[in-house]
Amino acid sequence: MKHKRMISQRLVDVLLRVCSELENRNLNWAVVGSLGLALRGAPIEPQDIDIMTDKVGAYEIERIFSDSVISPVSLKSSGTIQSHFGALSIDGVKVEIMGDFQIRLENGAWQEPPNLAVLKEMEHVGEMSVPVLALAWEHGSYLKLGRKDRAEAAMELMRRRTSEKAP
């Protein structure tokens, strides 16, 4: 597929390594952010891997890749978003982990973390199936975070999928 050339081979290699480590474990996780959009055809060149999971998954992924931790998982908040956040460096690629990711709503309350079991879709990368979050969820989240460029990229992918399904 033409669009996947925007993803560096090193990033793909690390993604496949992460997937193979996590695939037979009882963890609920998905790739999100720029890589999640690029895997589905957005003309974006991702620089890292963002993994969304739940709180338990965040600490378990940190444990699985304990030799690669550059920022231990802990509850962090920017005021706009909060999650059990940590970061890894695998073969020089940054992998960010976000557990129970929440966005602060306009009324000051925190949005519920995404239901990954319901929102997860699979995208094929070579022979491997990679879990990604639904485009509609990505679009809505980017709008709430004021990331209009990424929201538009997600919307364009949704439009493209709709037109591909049309008779």
Q: What is the pLDDT of residues 124-152, one digit of tens each?
A: 988 889 999 999 999 999 998 889 999 99
- Provide the whole-model pTM: 0.90
Give the pLDDT confidence score for residue 79 in this predicted structure.
87
Q: Which two tokens stand for residue 63?
A: 């444990």
Distance, CA of 123 to CA of 39 (rounded, Å): 7
Q: Is the pLDDT assigned to residue 2 strictly greater than 50? A: no
pLDDT of residue 4: 44
Nearest CA to 18 out of 101, 87, 114, 120 is that of: 87
CATH code of domain 2-153: 3.30.460.40
Q: Tens digits of per-residue pLDDT, 87-116?
A: 999 999 999 999 999 999 889 999 999 999
**Mean pLDDT over residues 3-32, rounded?**
89
Task: Provide the pairing of β-strand 128-133 with 69-77.
Answer: unpaired
* Residue positions counted in the chain: 167
- Write the pLDDT tens digit of every residue in 61-88: 999 999 999 999 999 999 899 999 999 9
